[in-house]
Structure 1
Amino acid sequence: MTAPEIDVEAVRERALASLTTARDRTTLLTSCVEEPDLTAQHSPLMSPLVWDLAHIGNQEELWLLRTVGGREAMRPEIDNLYDAFEHPRAERPRLPLLPPEEARRYAAEVRGRALDLLESSAFHGTRLTEAGFAFGMIAQHEQQHDETMLITHQLRKGPQALTAPAPDPVPPFTGPAEVLVPGGPFTMGTSTEPWALDNERPAHRREVAAFHIDTTPVTNAAYQAFIEDGGYDDRRWWTPEGWAHIRQHSITAPLFWRREGGQWLRRRFGVTEVVPPDEPVLHVCWYEADAYARWAGRRLPTEAEWEKAARHDPVHNRSTRYPWGDADPAPEHANLGQRHLRPAPAGSYPAGESPLGVRQLIGDVWEWTASDFLPYPGFTAFPYKEYSEVFFGSEYKVLRGGSFAVDPVACRGTFRNWDYPIRRQIFSGFRTARSADV
């Protein structure tokens, strides 16, 4: 059996568009503030923006120029500085990092050479080059750092530096609160998506019992009801670890929220505003999501349940690439790509709903699931163990679906994100579920 023919020009165009979109976003995120904000560490949880900028260039050089292109190293002396596993984020400001202008020149020179390589690539020969995987991996890597840099902007103190139009207003959502997902097997993961990363592979059959899942993510208004009912003061709703964590850190509301004058306010990219009741709740950790679900008499969906709700087409009995089908995301499908710097109201994007009627499974907020980050049956690390394999285990919880900060190139129905259950600076929310017999 021969492999399907690759449309070389289509792959080249997709890779060029993906790399260009990522670099445009990187440029915006690193040019909208002055040099002191680029070199400062705005939180010990995050790198200085200038580290991300040079790291993006260094990874591109490593994988595209050196590994795929066989070129000599341009700046071998900086490899160690920008190795994420060598230096924890908290210590990166103390490293002899490239200053902003030098980092920009380096990243630009790498990109110029990478585009020359792209122009001459045939996209076959090795698994790394097949269907342009290495170029797709680098575009995804840069977009993931663009999301990380946007988180840094949210943590940054000071005046507003980024603006974007708000999502289109929609009428209050009056559809069903939950959707029944029928029991039975479905295909989880992928073996055919050309730019899918190793932890999304391979495709495999997964049996899932019938369950109900929220039609939309949990909103700020719903989460406020949990707060007002004393949710943060009632040990019944929390795991022992979660209870200890919120007590130790005096957590009483989502990150960036504060109560003032009888209403909830939030800080969003340098602006203080009233918390919008109809938006999905944002900046909650796994422990908070799990506690809310218990308070509501529900639970978080497992990762398999989430993916079945997002990809299973019961009419044709197959798994689609996205909830709406196999077409790449368009603006009518989901809130992606940092075009809006906030979630859209619950119930938005009816064109993006799943065949079962679940909405906003892609974009808006990363959704915590009940599952630990573990490999699929038959998993093989590629192209390096540090992308996924070293993180497998019960320390990390899986998030699904992407957020408004994620670019479509780094978001699929199979895409898996993971983080510690204490993390709140990320653009995380959730939806709840319940077993069909409950």
Structure 2
Amino acid sequence: MGESTFAVPVAPGRQPLVGHMPALARDVVGFFESLRDVGDVVEVRFGRTPVYVITDAELVHRAMAADSGDFVQGKLYDKLARVAGGGVACTDGPGHLDQRRALLPAFRPARNAEFADLFREQALELSRSWRPGQPVNLLRDMYRLTTRTTARALLGGDLDDADTNWLADNIPFVFSIFALQTLSPSDLLEHLPTATNRRYAAVRERLRAIVDDVVGRSSGDGDDIVSTLRRAHHGGDAADEVATILITAIEPTATVIAWLFYYLARNPAVEARVHDEPAYLRPVITEVLRLRHPIYFVMRRTVREVRLGSWPLPAGADVLWSNAALHRDPAAFPDPHVFDPDRWASGEPPHRHYLPFGGGAHKCLGHRFATSEIDVVVSTITERWRLVLDPDVEIPLGVLHPDEMPVSVVARDGRP
């Protein structure tokens, strides 16, 4: 799309050629938070391309509405599709609904106890590998844990150690690159012979080889994704769905678990209460998902002319909202930058601003799976260990995916 021809307010700070990219590069979430003061729909520029950012929660729900037919998945999901193919996260319309129906049996409630046992088993195995006073690479360990649980619960069996470690080391890279490509001022940059682009191409190739191996090993009669799809006569889509599961299940869940331990380490009173009152872990999880939501933004594209609030958007317009920024709206959450699990003490009201797993037809299929994994892993590890963070370490609020989170482990109550 070229220049806009209607009066949607434009975000301040636009620069020639690069648009608002410098501000986005400094602090993605902070930039989107700042747009609340500009309007409920605000034009920003990814290079020269206009993107319309929704800052109003009601308008976000309008864009997410399952039955509107006005929007399809946008640029972010185009970039994800280069890695994941036509997996359920990247599709729309009747085909998308068919994919969801085909996948739902793999997440059926009858499997919840099985999943919880698996999460506890893997958390215990990791916990027993630690030693008192040992420095721990928390993010690496959580990536490996969620890789194992995802493979065993959803893909039909264990991966070998080499593939597990490779996925744990490289899925975060994939996750970051397709997001960066979305923000890029030009698609041409993806085709330059840079070290990053070469690595990304190699990673995509290795990922597809692992996926093909997973699909080939499936017996077809289990509860895994491949078997479920074959029974629903969606066997041809199995590789794309496996790739989608690996990308979307491993990184965000591991990152949220790491953030949870970060906040427990920085808030000893909260950590002690979680240990003494296991039920208190639930509002802590809810608050971590609010304050450090693992997705910077999501996108849609208009199918036809759409009116959002007072603003007409043309067909083909790129539309964006940031769940992370909505979660920090002071109109919904007083002192929004403060970690405060007690704001959820009366339960979990259906905040229109609170969207940890999206909504509408594209709500995360595995939201109960992910929430259970976070709960069981954290409660299992905190039974045995306290994780201690360097008191000088404070990760800025603009960071949702830290490069590292080093901690040391202290045995609880003198346990060996």
**TM class by shorter-chain length?**
under 0.3
Compute the TM-score of the two structures, normalised by the length of structure 1: 0.27
Higher relative contact order (CA 8 A, sep 6+): 2
Which structure is higher in helix share? 2
